[in-house]
Each structure stands twice: as C-alpha cells, then as structure tokens.
Structure 1
Amino acid sequence: MSNRFLAGLGRVYVALILVFLYAPILVMAAMSFNASEFYQLPFSFSTEWYERLWRNSEILAAAWRSVWIAVIVTIVATSLGTAASVALFRYEFRGKKVLQVLLFPPIAIPWLITGTAMLVFFFGIGLGRGTPAVIIGHVALALPYVIVVVTARLTTFDRTLEEAARSLGASPWKVTRSVTIPWILPGIIAGGLFAFAVSFDQFVVSYFLSEPGDSTLPVLIYTSIRKGFTPEINAISTIIIAASMSIMLLAARYSNFGGER
C-alpha cells in the first residue's frame, strides 16, 4: 500500500471517530431549536425552548447550584492537589511510593461503589446528606486528577532552578511562588479544568449525597427524563456544551499545555 493511501485511510478513520463523537451532540443542539416538542420533522426553527428555559426556575436553580459547587470544588481540589504534588516532587519520606499508588484507585473504582461508601461514611460520622457532603465527595473525586496532571507537569521541571533561587537567598515560599508555580501553571490550569468538569458532571455521588429537592443539574436531568423529557433539557445542555468548549479553547489558546511555545 502506498503512503498516500494509508494517509487517506487514516483521515477517513479520524473523520468517522469525530462523527461518532459529535453527531449526537449536534443533533441535540439542533433539536433544541426545533419547534416540535416530539422532534417531528421537517425541522421548524424556534427559540421557544430557550425562552421556556429562562422561565424554568427549577432547572436554573439546579444549574446555578452545580456551578457554584463546581467552583468551590475546583478551588479546594486545585489548591490541595497542587500542594500535594509539589510535596511529593520535592521530598522523600517513608511510604511515599505507597501514597502515590493509592492516588489511582479513586479514579479506577466505579463511582457507584464510591457513592455508596461515601453515603455510609457520612452517615456514620453524623454529617449525613447535604451540600457539605456533596462538596467533600466531589473534592475527593477530583483531587487525584489534579495531582496526576500537576505531577506530570512537574516531571519536566528542572530542579536546578530551585537550587539556584535558594542559593541567591530566596525563601522556600519565594522559590515556590516565583519559580515553581509559574512553571507548573499550565498543569494547574489543566488540573483545575479537570476538577471543575468532574464536579459539574458528577451524577452518582451527587445523587447519593444530595438532599431531596436540592439537586444538582445532572441529578435533575436524570429525574426529568424519568418523569418526561422536554427540549428544555436540550437547551440547557447546548448552553453548557457551548460554554465548556469556549472555556477549553480559551485555556488552550492562552496556556502552554504542551510545553514550550
């Protein structure tokens, strides 16, 4: 086979993967502008479902709750995860390898098992269900992602830069703030984006730990589908996807994820 044929076959393969990934999203976005509640064709353009969405206080309240919980989780998980990554990078101590290995099970364990375990644990310590339990649960899930991403960035860091800064009289905090943090900032941003996505999209743990009537958006969408699906869900989903992609594009544009520019 010629190289040109293989290159063409590769492009077709990638195109099919993109169609498989994005076709359902494009259909959902299109149906959010269809006047028919039952997705009848031919397509009739309408913004009715977006107008109804802005009048649906239940969906808006759940969306806002998901956003501010995700913001809090992002701040806490990114701060703790970055500090843990720097500590694991700088210091050697007994049990370090075991601790690093234990970071991966929370990513691999099914969230159904994690949600059940958290529910039992929080009731066992007297915290129960509610917003504090949801936030703690989301932080526990997001923290390993932040540590893995920031640690991956730290592997490219030249330790002699810190040594040079200390030899010039910089304090440990000054070294961290002026040398280490600027270098790993792309990893911190990427870890923060992971934390936000994990929290905002989290259904299982939120479903187990949320109080009745005080749900996050994924839980509300699930219950709405069970009661009767309406294109208002398509509308809010389209807005979320558009916002998420915009944030990712901006982060990719202004952050050096891949190393040197």
Structure 2
Amino acid sequence: MSISNNHYQVTNVSYQLNEQTILSNLSFELEPRKIYSLIGPSGAGKTTLLSLLGGLKKPTSGTIETKKGTVEEQKVAFVPQDYGLLPWQTVQKAVVKGASLSQKGKLSALDLAEIDELLKQMALWEHRKKYPRQLSGGQQQRVAIARSFATHADLLLMDEPFSALDAFTREKAQQLFLSRWQKLKPLTVFVTHDIEEAILLSDQIIVLSANPGEISQIVDSPFEDKMNLHENRQSMALFELTNALRGAISG
C-alpha cells in the first residue's frame, strides 16, 4: 500500500445545533503524512470538529475540501473514546472485519499476512483469540487502533484514544501507535485533554476556545523525532510549551 497523500482545507467553517453555535469560523489546513491534535476546554467543540472532518456532520456554513473528492467520499477510520469493540468478535476478527469492510471484498493471503504483522507490532498477537471482556483497557485500545490501521484510511480520527489508561500503559500505547503510524503515515487528527500528549504525538496543535469553539492559535510541536518519547519527555521545550498552552486554554 502507498503512503497516504491526502490534504484537507477547512475554510470559514461554522456549525450550529438547535440555534446554538458550537463552532465558529474555523479556517486551517491539514497536510498529508502529519498528525494533528485538538485541545481546548470542555465545550470547545473538539469532537464535533472530528465529526465534520469525517463527514458524519455537515458544516452550517463554510467548506471542507480535499484533494481526493468530497469529504463524504474519503476513506475514514474512527477510534471512539469507548473503542467501539463488538463483544462477540475476537481481537483477530475485529481487525480482519475492519479491513474487509474497507476493501469491500474478500481479503487476499497477503492482506491476512499484513494483519498478522499488524497484530504482532501492536503487541496483540498472543491475545488474538480473546474477546473484549477478556482484555485490559490498554489492550482494547490497541485493538481499536489496529482495526483503524487495517482499513488503510485516508484520514484517521481518534477521540481521546489514550485517556482511560494509566501513565505507564499510556506511554507504551503511544509508542506502539507511533511505530505503526510510520508505516503508511495516514493523515491523523486526535482529540486530547492532555497537553503534553498533544505536543509529543502531533506535528501541530490546534487550540480551540469555548462557547463558541474558535481557533485561538495553531502551534508547531518542537519535536521532529516523535519516536524518542522518553527523551522528549525530559526536554525543557516540552515543559515550556506545556505551560504556555495551559495558560492559553485557561486564560
């Protein structure tokens, strides 16, 4: 499979629900092979913005354009907060089903071999025959992400994918996510309340204010090498930017 090469242009997008403005006049671009994070206080419309990018909702005004046709025509993978796993599907079946639905046909031997490799890389191979109830929260989270990678989507959307995990499990999951992301580099947008996570994992941080949700600033991450999470966590640059963004959100 080729590396994803999609591009999104968001221009003057607003969204209203029951005459309440949730998002107001958003303009930004999403470049291919990059990771973007959305941060901001509760009520900023972060999850709503994911839905707009994924074509699940339509803007009240403004446009979202891509280089590959309409938003609704894009192949999108979504990782919800609750992981969205079906209780009757094993780990392996969940990932295989995600791939087969995306390709709209029977998977080849090569496709199945790639799924096996994906399960191994996401540290799920030994759990492949288990059901969701037999998995820890971290394992369920990795299944949801593995399923999304298996779709070879043009756009990967994740809504607080690591929020339910303890600090140790979260760091491991982040590292596994980044390792796999390097393979095809899908354009990725994720919501998080963890400012440090936003800086470490994404190329750009989009900061939203609340009531209504507006872009207050867009900040580049100082870390080009995302894979060295442990060393980046010790950086003074992380400390300084975390404090600056925390002040921007609270102030």
Please report the TM-score for the alignment, with normalisation by the length of structure 1. Answer: 0.26
Q: Which structure's residues are more often helix, by fraction?
A: 1
Q: Which structure's residues are more often strand, by fraction?
A: 2
Larger radius of gyration: 1
